[in-house]
Structure 1
Amino acid sequence: MNESLPSTPATRLTSLDAMRGFTIAAMILVNYPGNGEFIFEPLEHAAWNGLTPTDLIFPFFLFIVGVSIVLAFTRALEQGVAKGVLYNKVALRALKIFAVGIFLTLLPYFHFSELRVTGVLQRIAIVFLVCSFLFLNASFRTLVWVGVVTLVAYWLAMVLIPTPGQGRVVLDPGNNLAAWVDSKLLPGRMWQGTWDPEGILSTFPSIVTGIGGMLAGRLLLSSRTPHEKTILLLIAGFLAVVLGYLWHLTFPVNKNLWTSSFVLITGGLAALVLGTAYYVVDICHYVKGTLPGIIFGANAIAVYFISEVISYLFYLVPFGGAPLNEQWFAALTHFGVAPKIASVLYAMLFVGINFIPAYVLYRKKIFIKL
């Protein structure tokens, strides 16, 4: 693959901006159903091994983070910004994202004894930090090797090292090497009591998801023609998915463990979606329907933060004796709407409510960069 990085295109990649926004909208949709007991299966995470559409959302966002790093930092370097300045900006931004993640784990009661130091934003911060430093110091080939070695090493560790206390290799919830490492090294509360889906060991392969995005970003900025870029993205994505499913035979696809097979399959699907969107939107200039995604994506992390904060108003504060989500769900089911449909309609309403501040920020050209 051509590693040359010519001048950054003057225009942004509309496909990437829209993909980022729709990914955040999907994240809000699955996080906030009207009733957690009535959810369509595709809108739930796989209980353990396996893959649902919902399981694609987080890795898609990390993949997009990787692509964005390449686009933004290539532009900065071409403008003469020193690497030292970029290092400081990267470290500060990662720290702010991590701190906001910690803040969200403390809401709404701020019980520091129940503090969870891991989470979605915390993982985003770590992936952003590591991938940014890798991009500023590593070649395309080095990035490939770092990704391959990390995935293979994680696989071998998880399937060859017996879980301490078990005397054998175990990949069950709370009884695997990653959970054991978290129990020994991870401070604070864990999401599932004895294990955490954003734990220490599983963060390493999640960085590779970001590396996959950086490889895609380098391709998009290469000297190849737009059609060649599209074809290569689609081919690479297809091959990654096939390899991932072959790896699944010995290391099951599992989001909670962020297994190596999970990285390849989700990264491959992200490349397929980006390649398709790039062709349709940026090459064929068919932009109809992209604006909502662009609006959400313009302040993606800020919108995610807003959704987390205002969710307490909708889910915890009683209005007339019950929170708003319960009233909405009860009203719809009272009129004969099926419970799962009522639940997803509420989730869609909540996405729409979060679109309002996103739209205001976009119209006023306010772009919050944590």
Structure 2
Amino acid sequence: MKRLISLDVLRGLTIVLMVLVNNPGSWQTVYWPLLHAQWHGLTPTDLVFPFFIFVMGVAIPFSSYRQQGGSAGVMLARILKRSVLLFLCGLFLALFYYNPYNPDFDWVRDRLENIRGMGVLQRLALVYFFTAILAMCLRIRGLLFTAVLLVAAYWAAMTFIPYADAAGNVYQGLWAYGNSLAAWIDAGVLGKHHVYYSMATPFPFDPEGLLSTMPAISTCLCGVICGLWLQREPGMPLLKMAGAGIILILAGGVMALWVPVNKALWSPGFTALTAGCAMGCLALLHWMTDLRGYQRWAQPFIIAGANSIVFFMLSGIAARLLFMIPSGSGSLKAAIYQSVFLPYLSPFNASFLFAVSFLCVMFLPVWWMYRKQWFIRL
């Protein structure tokens, strides 16, 4: 079938925003839409990761080995291979770090022995693995039922299962920073030294933790459902996606009356709101690019999305190198920011322009790969 341009555009738009929000000149001077909510709440930046997971789901029905009618064993092997590679890429980024400014920093102790097990790519790997298998086995109704069931089961577990800290204090039904069933599981399974929020109390936890992967799979399943609509009824599912998006946004708003909207815990309201917004954006882009043919404006996003994981990896490696390479009394990043951007702009504008400049530089190798028709898809 004809290539779905809207999928490429949304994937590229998402990865561009992901690189942009992750690389300000200074974290002290960032415009609020480019920051995550401190805990409960939702900002535009909080949409980026669930959008990427949603897009990953949309792409699953269009995967080449599915279209070629490969056997279940072949498909399962490829799903497993891709998941393992994604997970290993995430571990590589976790290890690729050194702090030359701290004399007490020990790479083996601080990064290898205490490696953060979860992260963005690790969550993508787990979500993709389970979602792709479900997509192999279930039809649309089954996928929809599973998506709802996962969110409902997650809510029920977080609400009704009690848990205790080391002092014997028992908690139940909390969605607090460092105090939830999800945090308790992360602390017990992953360990204090292997999570992002290692200083959280009473339970250190990871924003890409274990239990909260369940509703993230639901986000991806919503993408699979949209992908199946687009695959089976080209041009027809516009109203379906828009209508489903509106229903999910309304449902998320209702859920937020009882359970806070929270990205780190991937709360039910967060799951519904972000999936609804993603469906609405995909519907709009489908109308603009696939149905009406307005595509020229979207070419940079198509290029970025063609090698999205490469784009993410390159930006992660480059950002770490800018920090790890000393320059004067600080890092190379600080030297560039303080000498090129900060003297000529307000702190907030300088920080934003640094992020835009970093994004443009990272775009160049991806653009070159696109011109050469080199595509690396894990």
Give the aligned partner of residue 48 of structure 2. Answer: 57
Amino acid of the structure 2 residue aligned with 1:66? G
Summarize deviations over 1:102-127 as a string: whole Å, max 9, x none. 11101124531120110000000111
Q: Counterpart amino acid of 1:49?
A: H
**Aligned ranges 1:156-305 → 2 under 5 Å:** 156-164=156-164, 165-187=169-191, 189-193=194-198, 194-223=204-233, 226=235, 228-305=236-313
* Partner residue, 1:34: 25
2:142 equivalent to 1:142: yes
1:19 is matched with 10
What's the counterpart of residue 5 of structure 1? none
Quick one: distance in 2 between partners of 1:79 and 1:191? Answer: 40
Query: SS in structure 1 opposite 2:171?
Result: coil
In 1: Cα distance, 2:277 partner to 2:44 partner: 11
TM-superposition CA deviations, 1:201-247 (whole Å, max 9, x none): 10111011100100111111123x61x31111111101100001101
User: How many residue pairs end up in the alignment?
Assistant: 356
If the length of structure 2 is used for normalisation, what is the TM-score?
A: 0.91
Q: From the superposition, tell whether residues 77 and 105 of structure 1 become closer, same or farther in structure 2 (CA, over 3 Å).
A: closer
- SS of the residue corresponding to residue 42 of structure 2 reads coil
Alpha-carbon separation, structure 2, partners of 1:77 and 1:125: 18
- Report if aligned partners of 2:151, 2:215 keep a CA contact under 8 Å in 1: yes
Counterpart CA distance in 1 for 2:283 and 2:74 is 32
Tell me the SS of whatever aligns to 1:255. Answer: coil
Counterpart for residue 47 of structure 1: 38
2:342 to 313, 333, 347: 333
Say whether residues 1:84 and 2:94 are aligned partners.
no
Could you tell me how far apart the structure 1 residues matched to 2:79 and 2:150 are?
A: 22
Question: What amino acid is the match of 1:92?
Answer: K
Q: Is the 8 A contact 2:97 2:324 kept in 1?
A: no
Amino acid in structure 2 at the alignment position of 1:104: L
For residue 134 of structure 1, what is the amino acid of its counterpart?
L
* Structure 1 stretches lacking a partner, 5+ long: 1-8
Identity, % of aligned positions: 36
Which secondary structure state, in structure 1, belongs to the residue aligned with residue 296 of structure 2?
Answer: coil
Tell me how far 1:143 sits from its aligned partner.
Answer: 0.7
Query: Secondary structure in 2 aligned to 1:32?
Result: coil
Q: Secondary structure in 2 aligned to 1:334?
A: coil
Contact 1:34 1:328 in 2 (8 A): no
Q: Is the 8 A contact 2:54 2:221 kept in 1?
A: yes
Deviation of 1:320 after TM superposition, in Å, equals 4.2
Contact 2:159 2:172 in 1 (8 A): no
Q: Unpaired runs of 5+ in structure 2?
A: 99-106, 199-203
Aligned residue in 2 for 1:306: 314
Judge which range, 176-185 or 312-321, deviates more: 312-321
Deviation of 1:167 after TM superposition, in Å, equals 3.5
In the alignment, the residues of structure 2 paired with residue 283 and residue 167 of structure 1 have an alpha-carbon distance, to the nearest angstrom, of 52
Query: Does the 8 Å CA contact 1:162/1:170 hold for their aligned counterparts?
Result: no
Q: 2: distance between equivalents of 1:322 and 1:56?
A: 33
Q: Deviations over 1:35-74 (max 9, x none)?
A: 01111111000011100000000000000000000111xx
Q: Is the CA contact 1:163–1:169 (under 8 Å) kept in the aligned structure 2?
A: no
Distance 2:283 2:32 in 1: 27
Q: Secondary structure at the match of 1:289?
A: helix
- Return the letter of the residue paired with 1:183: A
Letter in 1 for 2:377: K
C-alpha distance in structure 2 between counterparts of 1:77 and 1:99, whole Å: 24
The CA distance in 2 between the partners of 1:78 and 1:108, in whole Å, is 40
Question: Contact (CA 8 Å) 2:175, 2:260: kept in 1 or not?
Answer: no
Q: Residue 325 of structure 1 contacts residue 346 of structure 1 at CA under 8 Å; is this kept in 2?
A: no
The one-letter amino acid paired with 1:95 is V
Q: Which residue does the alignment assign to 2:123?
A: 123
Q: Is the 8 A contact 1:20 1:300 kept in 2?
A: yes
Look up the equivalent residue of 1:141 and give its one-letter code. Answer: R
Distance 1:47 1:339 in 2: 21
Q: CA deviation at 1:329?
A: 2.9
